[in-house]
Amino acid sequence: MMEALLKKSFRVNLLVVILLSIFLYILFFVSLGFITRHGNEVVIPNVMKKDIKVAEKSLESMGFEVLVDSAYDPKQKPMTVLSQIPEVGSTVKSGRTVFITINRRQPPMTPMPNLVGLSYRSAAMILKNNKLNIGDTIYKPDIAKGAILEQLYKGKAVRPGELVPQGSKISLVIGDGLSNTELDMPDVIGIPYLEAEAILSGTGLQFYPVWEGDITDSSTAVVFKQNPRPMNELGQPNRIKEGDMVEIYIKQTASNEELEENRKPLTTIDPNTPAAPSTPTK
């Protein structure tokens, strides 16, 4: 009797387990569509180049979560979408997160690399890697032909390591070799230093400034002596090659007598005196 009851109880329990398993199986597949949002798929819209506010409103209205990152592209408008993930036209479930990258208002700063002494090609590659652009290229007579002599930002020399905005244009001064062109030596004696600097640079000459005495204002300090001097021993303008070096001596003030004395040739000879014979080369 007891054995029969146990068998009956086992069969009942087994039947209950089977029925419960079937119920749970059916319930799982019935709810699967709800869990996976089957039939609730949407297509990712195109928000590229749209303003961030417009892009966010469009995506959120379709049930997407939006995460925003930023980058910088000088060619695009600030606060517009540069990229989006998933891509445009992808079919995804509603409620998925969409990642968008927008263009920053201000470019990030980057340290200026040292380009002096490099070739143009190497300098161009380094600038590109640092997200900087090449501006003007200025050729200047110099023995280092093809080498970068100076790097300029907004017309002024920029030091290596100095922070500049990404996307900035960096102008390059490049050596053009020494020219065989001769020109009259400019007379910069008595001229303010900044003006003398402009004259010498404008004629393709290099210069080395020597400061003497107390300088209270460099903009009004004057050149009181130069080497080579403006005139030669015959009273004619000294001739100098384009790209040659000129020494200029600067002080705060100089008398007219001092200026005139330094403007004279180092020696004066009588043009009627015959030149001394040259020593023959052995």
Residues 190, 257: one domain?
A: yes
Q: In this structure, what token pair is assigned to residue 6?
A: 């146990």
Residues 190, 171: one domain?
A: no
Show which of 131, 147, 175 is a domain's final residue.
175
Residues 232, 168: one domain?
A: no
Residues 99, 115: one domain?
A: no
Does some domain include residue 36? Answer: no
Residues 168, 195: one domain?
A: no
Residues 168, 196: one domain?
A: no
Domain range spanning residue 56? 44-103
Average pLDDT over residues 160-176: 92
Residues 118, 140: one domain?
A: yes
Does some domain include residue 93? Answer: yes
CATH code, domain with 131: 3.30.10.20
Counting the structural domains of the chain, the total is 3
Does some domain include residue 99? Answer: yes
Task: Report the chain's mean pLDDT, rounded to a whole number.
Answer: 83
Does some domain include residue 136? Answer: yes
Q: Is the pLDDT of residue 2 over 80?
A: no
Taking only Cα atoms into account, the Rg of the chain, rounded to an integer number of angstroms, comes to 41
Q: Which residues pair with 156 in a beta bridge?
A: 153
pLDDT over 70 percentage in the chain: 85
Q: Is the pLDDT of residue 37 over 60?
A: no
Residues 189, 139: one domain?
A: no
Residues 230, 253: one domain?
A: yes
Residues 186, 236: one domain?
A: yes
Q: Which residue has the higher pLDDT, 269 or 210?
A: 210
Does some domain include residue 134? Answer: yes
Q: 185-201, pLDDT tens digit by residue?
A: 999 999 999 999 999 98
- Report the amino acid identity of residue 163: L
Average pLDDT over residues 130-158: 89
Residues 258, 187: one domain?
A: yes
Does some domain include residue 158? Answer: yes
The band of 15, judged by pLDDT with boundaries at 50, 70 and 90, is confident
Contact 171, 140 (CB under 8 A): no
Question: Is pTM, for the whole model, over 0.75?
Answer: no
Residues 94, 119: one domain?
A: no
- The predicted structure's pLDDT at residue 29: 61
Does some domain include residue 271? Answer: no
Does some domain include residue 34? Answer: no
- The predicted structure's pLDDT at residue 125: 93
Q: 197-253, pLDDT tens digit by residue?
A: 999 988 888 889 999 999 899 889 999 999 999 988 888 888 888 878 899 999 999
